[in-house]
Chains A and B, each alone.
Chain A
């Protein structure tokens, strides 16, 4: 699932259209959802971005290790208006803290450093992009995903020759819309890589079946997960055998499964 955070409705609109998202009945932040993407409009500033990111995380069912991307406009001293860049470093100008999104796949865009400022900055002193949200987004999204899956894509809206003024919605849309398809491709690639981190389906299915059938304490649940993982690694398409799954208690089941696994010799892949 892709999770998109934008500051303004005009930034969101091309993505809402591209991903065919529908407005949800949320209070607090405008939230949009589709079959395979979520989007929230945060409003300006890093505090809003952080809060909206957390809101969307809750709204999307507290997903772990999913793809998150902050999309929007930014200033840059030299780059032309409409130029896209993905951030390879995001710095909060106020705190000095930096994040380094790990770009583990080729991107259709060049990358650049990005500085998040608290107030509009028309000095163009930075040699990178300047925005007002990305640091808040990174700080929050990295609490529930990994740095390879959390990114910021910015399109230049102003530069030294065309200093900051509030661009019209249609202007913003025209800058962002051409990148929607490439953005989706990039995010889908990350999603495919993120599948490497998922618990194997066989483990989840057996875990759910067993925990529905009898009571496991929290520590027993953890042990069950670990033992099922071992079982699945050794027997990818097999349920645990009936003499194990039909034990009368959770403890007896865990002990029987452990005994079976411990009796097996080491295996080369």
Chain B
């Protein structure tokens, strides 16, 4: 249950706001001028707020759609990302959001139509243009609140050169299953092995449940993808990743999989420092990492060993052209 909903005065009468309030009649509504008044103040603690996050309804005014890093892509001609949400229902200990934001409240930008207008200017006929959603939050986890996917799909149906990635750790696939599939909307499920899920991905549905949701979606004709990212080193990681790939890829025929991407754990140093401060008792941050340039990551040798291993294992199940390696910028 969402206890408090903060709403920017400007969008108080927005139909999407009214619909959300109708579904959350017990929530206390608090008006604000701009979401930053609630979300950005320094005297806040992400870890404490994660105990009981509030929802902030806001309007995104600029930078609605942004160029994706050059290293990121799944075979399209041009790549963009956008964030209709900031923050996530889940509490993954390795997640950069806890290092990037001071507040754990969910911000939802309700002006979806403005995102679509911005996308419209970027799509070129005959060229595959990707729009990646879920960078600053899970694309589907809060679908029952946001109605995001359901609202975006009709536009993508009319724009076959525009491709949408819905990136998620959730099992909230109802909005997709309710309609006929679209070839240009790919639901990308993020996975780590069960041991990592148990240790670090708090509140995330189990690997089994997510695999089930992915299979259900694929069988209904929707393109699905796997995001094995970030790779988390641990004792027996080879055994565990091998087991994960077997579980996911033996159940799902390769032709139903749009793509698999993988990438190592990398964190901008200031975010990492914030995360260390938030969770001083967390062993995940305490050993086996080093600072390279502006990033905290595993030592290069360990990182390469993991990446190579996972790429080799994935290649046992999928053709090379479906496997992508994504490294954050400033890679060394």
Interface set of A (CB-CB < 8 Å, partner B): 65, 88-89, 98-100, 102-106, 110-111, 113, 142-143, 145-150, 193-194, 196-197, 199-200, 203, 226, 229-234, 236, 261-262, 264-269
Chain B contributes a number of interface residues (CB within 8 A of A) equal to: 44
| Contact status A113-B30, CB under 8 Å | yes
Q: Is the CB of A111 within 8 A of B28?
A: yes
Q: Which of A65, A104, A233 contacts B280 (CB 8 A)?
A: A233
B266 to chain A, nearest CB (A): 14
The answer for the CA separation of A232 and B285 in the assembled complex, in Å, is 12
A–B complex contacts, Cβ < 8 Å, 30 sampled? A88-B4, A88-B28, A88-B30, A100-B41, A102-B44, A103-B3, A103-B4, A103-B52, A104-B49, A110-B28, A111-B28, A142-B41, A145-B43, A148-B48, A196-B47, A196-B48, A200-B280, A233-B280, A233-B286, A234-B287, A266-B232, A266-B234, A266-B284, A266-B298, A267-B284, A267-B286, A268-B195, A268-B235, A269-B199, A269-B200
Question: Known contacts A100-B37, A147-B41, A269-B199: does B51 contact A193 (CB below 8 Å)?
Answer: yes
Q: By DSSP majority rule, is chain B's interface helix, strand, loop, or mixed?
A: loop
Q: Is the CB of B51 within 8 A of A268?
A: no
B43 CB contacts on chain A under 8 angstroms: 142-143, 145-147, 150
- Name B284's contact: one of A105, A149, A264, A269 (CB within 8 Å): A269
Query: In chain B between 173 and 210, which residues have their CB closer than 8 angstroms to a CB of chain A?
Result: 195-196, 199-200
Q: Does B6 make an interface contact (CB < 8 A)?
A: yes
Of chain B, the residue at the smallest CB distance from A100 is: B38
The answer to whether B283 and A268 touch across the interface, beta carbons within 8 angstroms, is yes
Taking CB as reference atom, which chain B residue is nearest A226?
B276
Minimum CB–CB distance for A232 against chain B, Å = 7
Whether A268 pairs with B48 at a CB distance below 8 angstroms is no
The distance from the CB of B56 to the nearest CB of chain A, in whole angstroms, is 10
Residues on B close to A: CB < 8 A? 3-4, 6, 28, 30-33, 37-38, 41, 43-45, 47-49, 51-52, 54, 93, 103, 105, 195-196, 199-200, 232-235, 276, 280-290, 298
| B51→A234 contact, CB < 8 A | no
Whether A265 pairs with B288 at a CB distance below 8 angstroms is yes
Smallest beta-carbon distance A240→chain B, Å: 13
Chain B CB within 10 Å — which of A106, A150, A233, A265 has the most? A233
**A269 and B276 within 8 A (CB):** no
On whether A269 and B282 interact (CB within 8 A), knowing A103-B3, A147-B41, the answer reads: yes
Contacts of A197 in B (CB 8 A): 45, 47-48
Chain B residue contacts of A261, Cβ below 8 A: 286-287
B45–A148 touching, CB < 8 Å: yes
Taking CB atoms, residues of chain A closer than 8 Å to B195 are: 268
Q: A146-B48, A147-B44 are in contact. Are A268 and B284 (CB under 8 A)?
A: yes
Interface residue from A149, A203, A262, A267 paired with B283 (Cβ < 8 Å) = A267
Q: Top 8 A-B pairs ranked by shortest CB distance?
A: A266-B288, A233-B286, A264-B287, A230-B286, A142-B43, A267-B283, A148-B48, A146-B45
User: How distant is A68 from chain B, measured CB to nearest CB, in Å?
Assistant: 11
Q: Which one of B3, B52, B54, B283 lies within 8 Å of A234 (CB-CB)?
A: B283
Q: Which residues of A contact B289 (CB under 8 A)?
A: 266
- Whether B48 lies near A104 (C-beta < 8 A) is yes
* A194-B48, A197-B48 given; 4 more Cβ-contact pairs under 8 Å: A102-B49, A265-B288, A266-B233, A267-B234
A143 to B43, CA, bound (A): 7
Q: How far is the CA of A218 from the CA of B43 in the complex (A)?
A: 25
